[in-house]
Structure 1
Amino acid sequence: MRRLIRPALSGLLAAAGGIATAELVASPVRPESSPLVAIGGTVIDATPTPVKEYAVATFGTYDKPLLIGTILAVLALLAAAVGVLAVHHRAAALLAIGALGLVGAAAALTRPMARPIDALPALLAGAVSAGLLAWLAPKAATAPPPPSPVPGTGPATDGAPAGEPAAVPAAAAGDTSRDDRAAARTGRRAFLVAAGLVALGTALAGGLAAIIRRSGAQAADEARAAIALPAPADPGPPPEQTPGFYTPNQDFYRVDIALTVPRVDPRQWTLQITGMVDRPTELTFDDLLKQPLIERDITLNCVSNEVGGPYVGNARWLGVPLAPLLRAAGVQAGADQIVARGADGITIGTPVATVLDGRDAILALGMNGQALPPEHGFPVRMLTPGLYGYVGAAKWITSLELATFSSFDAYWVQRGWAATGPVKTASRIDRPKAFAQLAAGTVPVAGVAWAQHRGISAVEVQVDDAPWQQARLLPVPSTDTWVQWTWDWPAATAGSHTLRVRAVDGTGALQTEQRADPFPNGASGWQSVLVTVA
């Protein structure tokens, strides 16, 4: 095994040098053309829906770092294997490591909104890796020691009888041994020097790429910090004072396909409104700031949210009403889908009717009194109350194309999710937590319920199989937010108890008890938690 260390290390160093070169080339112009990002995005696209759902449910926002780490680990194993292969089959090894660059280039070219130049970083990575391996491989090879003479098999020499070992002068044997050790030291030293140079170059290239990326992100962050959001022309009601009604920006859930958060400079950002419109339109960020802005409290939730899950949040948003912008562009007859495209390559299809029916669909610029955080779509995102995020809430939005559902399937629809995603009535118990140990007496039971754009008219709680009890609803500003509810449970009986919750929406429809997984159009069912009363 020791004989494989240097060859394996040569493969790892060659691959690392290639990746660092690719990152250095991609960072200043097209960070999304990074081979790691392109391959990661391709893996996400190709991953079966059940696996995606498991990753989101299990790892949450850590699913993307885990994916990048997995890709790096696989590349490391392949690179080490190629380095070992180079010991005896150098040409094949060079072709193999170059082929990894071709894989990265193919992944980059198949990404949404790809450009031909996006293949360049991966192709350079393959070429640099092959060149480094060609240089390191000869130095990594370790020559086997010369075979020792076997007594009785050597030829007769200097008068020694046949079949007996030839006499080797002690001085000559010592010289040969010293020469072998010296050659081994020289070879080892040459490899270490070469490996050190490659490692240093890789560190410099990778460090410079990181500096460039940080510089670009810093410029976008500075531009965001300099934004002074104007006062809304149509302000929302006084903010609710009940703790927990608003979700802090840093705690708001994030589910998207972006491996790295896009850092978009609002000074270079534009929004295109195209497709089936009479007057194609281009708007800058300053153009939006000059529009009459509205302020609204809106609850947003992900279609991937399990019953009782965390992927729902409520915020006060500031934005431009979308309907007037579409009417100004002149929506043509027959257009029934708005295809929103984001800087991360996502496409989201929103029914035109839901934007034009009077609800507060907006292009959001602010969130809880601040410019949108980068993780939540800065500089501009779309919000459509009453729809799950995957059909109504594109982040890092760059264009709106008026089209038809029959002519185009958006990203998630291509993967089997429903084309339209109205939010289902849902409710959740936040207190007490599952498996809580409770003291006998009055126990506050509380949580939230939501049915955006329909509202919540009632919430009921059940203990074991006892009759359902009416919970008290806290006031809300509109039907587009969740409702906080509370009920005092007289917990007098010791032992284990099951608490259940269900809601009634604003139309009088009872939340369904039937359990359904999130795929393909959102989870359903009543949440229950098990607690113990001492």
Structure 2
Amino acid sequence: MNSPAAAEQGIPTPPRGAAALAGVLALVAALGSGHLVAAFIGINASPYLAVANAAIDLTPAWLKDFAVDAFGTYDKLVLLLGMALVLLGLAVLAGLLSRRGPLPGTVLIVVFGVLGGLAVYGRPDLGSGALAAPAASLLAGVLTFRWLLDRARAGGFELGEHTAPDRRRFLIGAGGVAAGAGVAGLAGQLIGSGTDAEGSRQAVGDLAAARPAPPIPAGADFSGQGTPTFRTANQDFYRIDTAVIVPQLRAADWTLRIHGMVERELTFDYADIRSRPLVERTITLCCVSNQVGGPYISTSNFLGVDLGDLLREAGIRPGAQQLFSTSEDGWTCGTPLAAALERDRGALLAIGMNGEPLPVEHGFPARMVIPGLYGYVSATKWVREIEITTWDARRAYWLDRGWARRAPVKTQSRIDAPGAGADLPAGRVVVTGIAWAQTLGIARVEVRLDENEWQRAELATEVNVDTWRMWRAVLDVPPGEHRVSCRATDRSGYVQTGQRAGVVPDGATGWHTVALTAR
């Protein structure tokens, strides 16, 4: 209904519902237009996605860890949905504030349009031409908003005692805007995802190793008693990264440039890498965000070429310290050069995983895999560029966010069965789990019930020092509530500390402990 003040002054005002709808449809038109233009530039130029990426970049370490712990691999989806709800509320507010005139809502749209432009401008993987997407978004939002408000006043909701509001004209216009924005957004999504990365991956076919990994020996896991299978299926391999939209690259479009403090700059394409003798290695990867007892650890047979060989072909100049790698989406990683060159460590430029080309979400066409280092300093997916440099010259993504420069994986262990809160019959209870100490190997795992003496667990067959090792123990558990803890000792003689520490700056520590009840 018209406000009393407006009625006295003869100013037509749309009902609150119509004004709110104008704000929401302006938002939809803005997002759809920006997404469509971004499809021809780079999907990350979409203002909505650019703001989401900026939010991830600006998120403090403690909040990032909370999101990973709370939502796991769904953290990006939660962020996008949260942004959508906030924008929806602001769109409604813009409409309601503009019933007397379009200026308040227009100002709000411009402010958020500028924020979207700044987010796009700050993307490392986009040029200045990408600003066309937020510009289109801003223009579409302002024009749609003002047009719908004018239509609501002049055509659909006239002021007067002798005329009832005829909503048909306004609703036809609103429906047209909604349909047009939906088509624009869908077209942008289809065009933006038109690079058939999965089709390219399928076309690669089987990858054969000139030096295959040794077969996994019998007795390498206790999966029948609660541990994971020794090798993790590709679809179950953990995934933690900053990519809101997974980069879509065809093998034919991928190149890797090695430059910086080298004697000769080198560029490789996918055919160059695939034509080399491929080596397969069984490697466990672990995320630095893995809390004590956490799930972000997996093992795979990775297939590729020795990364150190590629670097040596380029010729490393004296004084080089860091391997500074860049992903297709602009994410950067700083790796100790010595670790990448260490022959016994076996760093890979990987193109395959468990006998298949890398899955798109795990880095297809190529990624880095360096045993013994947490992923944020070693495991760049969709890698496109490697610069040999010093620590002072370049700072990687996570280094500016409170994380350590060097991050060797810490000796750790985890209880997999029984699970936390289990309710079991009293008596003999089989406890199983995993332990890891990459590049060193696990020498011993011990388990204890409550504060009793530590009991040595049985170790599964070792595959190599760069992989996890399964263990099991049998405990005599009396009736009541209890706590079971585990600790590992690596081959250097280091006994896993029981002192609890969070994941920042270089990985969590502490004994994994689960509570159970025996009856």
* TM tier, smaller: over 0.9
Task: Name the SS for the 1:523 alignment partner.
Answer: coil
Task: Name the SS for the 2:119 alignment partner.
Answer: helix
Task: Name the SS for the 2:361 alignment partner.
Answer: helix
Task: Name the SS for the 1:260 alignment partner.
Answer: coil
Contact 1:337 1:350 in 2 (8 A): yes
CA–CA distance in structure 2, aligned partners of residues 514 and 367 of structure 1: 35
For residue 85 of structure 1, report the CA deviation from its aligned partner.
Answer: 2.8
Question: Is 1:210 aligned to 2:195, yes or no?
Answer: no
Which residue, out of 448, 452, 462, partners 2:448? 462
Which residue, out of 154, 159, 163, partners 1:180? 163
CA–CA distance in structure 2, aligned partners of residues 195 and 453 of structure 1: 63
Contact 1:335 1:404 in 2 (8 A): yes
Q: Deviations over 1:423-473 (max 9, x none)?
A: 110000001111111113322111000011111111011111221111111
Q: Provide structure 1 residue ranges, at least 5 long, that are not aligned to the other structure.
A: 147-176
Q: Deviations over 1:189-246 (max 9, x none)?
A: 2211110110111121122223224432xx2111100113432122110134544111
Question: Counterpart of 2:506?
Answer: 521
For residue 70 of structure 1, report the CA deviation from its aligned partner.
Answer: 1.3
CA–CA distance in structure 1, aligned partners of residues 157 and 364 of structure 2: 58
Task: Name the SS for the 1:480 alignment partner.
Answer: coil
For residue 28 of structure 1, report the CA deviation from its aligned partner.
Answer: 3.6
Structure of higher RCO (CA pairs closer than 8 Å, 6+ residues apart): 2
Q: Deviations over 1:267-316 (max 9, x none)?
A: 10100101111111110011110122111111101101100011111111
CA–CA distance in structure 2, aligned partners of residues 222 and 29 of structure 1: 22
RMSD: 1.6
Which residue, out of 400, 413, 419, partners 2:399? 413
Q: Deviations over 1:75-96 (max 9, x none)?
A: 2222222222332232343243
CA distance 1:495–1:274, shift in 2 (3 Å): same
One-letter amino acid of the structure 2 residue matched with residue 453 of structure 1: T
Question: Counterpart of 2:74?
Answer: 62
CA–CA distance in structure 2, aligned partners of residues 239 and 369 of structure 1: 14
CA–CA distance in structure 1, aligned partners of residues 67 and 207 of structure 2: 39
Aligned-residue sequence identity (percent) comes to: 42
Contact 1:298 1:480 in 2 (8 A): yes
For residue 356 of structure 1, report the CA deviation from its aligned partner.
Answer: 1.3
Task: Name the SS for the 2:105 alignment partner.
Answer: helix
Q: Provide structure 2 residue ranges, at least 5 long, that are not aligned to the other structure.
A: 2-13, 224-228
Q: Which entry has the higher C-alpha Rg, 1 or 2?
A: 1
Question: Is 1:352 aligned to 2:337, yes or no?
Answer: yes
Question: Counterpart of 1:221?
Answer: 198
Which residue, out of 99, 119, 122, partners 2:111? 99
CA–CA distance in structure 2, aligned partners of residues 232 and 325 of structure 1: 18
For residue 516 of structure 1, report the CA deviation from its aligned partner.
Answer: 0.5
CA–CA distance in structure 2, aligned partners of residues 429 and 229 of structure 1: 36
Contact 1:322 1:362 in 2 (8 A): yes
One-letter amino acid of the structure 2 residue matched with residue 27 of structure 1: A
Q: Deviations over 1:22-44 (max 9, x none)?
A: 11111244111111111001111
Which residue, out of 55, 59, 63, partners 1:51? 63
Question: Is 1:390 aligned to 2:376, yes or no?
Answer: yes
For residue 144 of structure 1, report the CA deviation from its aligned partner.
Answer: 8.2
For residue 143 of structure 1, report the CA deviation from its aligned partner.
Answer: 6.0
Task: Name the SS for the 2:471 alignment partner.
Answer: strand
Give matches, 1:363-512, under 5 Å: 363-491=349-477, 493-512=478-497
Which residue, out of 280, 304, 309, partners 2:265? 280
Q: Deviations over 1:106-157 (max 9, x none)?
A: 10111223211121111100001111112111122486865xxxxxxxxxxx
One-letter amino acid of the structure 1 residue matched with residue 90 of structure 2: L
Question: Counterpart of 2:213?
Answer: 236
Contact 1:431 1:447 in 2 (8 A): yes
Question: Counterpart of 1:198?
Answer: 177
Aligned residues: 496
One-letter amino acid of the structure 2 residue matched with residue 193 of structure 1: I
Contact 1:377 1:395 in 2 (8 A): yes
For residue 71 of structure 1, report the CA deviation from its aligned partner.
Answer: 1.3
CA–CA distance in structure 2, aligned partners of residues 531 and 132 of structure 1: 60
Give matches, 1:105-254, under 5 Å: 105-141=117-153, 179-181=162-164, 184-185=165-166, 188-216=167-195, 219-241=196-218, 242=221, 243=223, 244-254=229-239
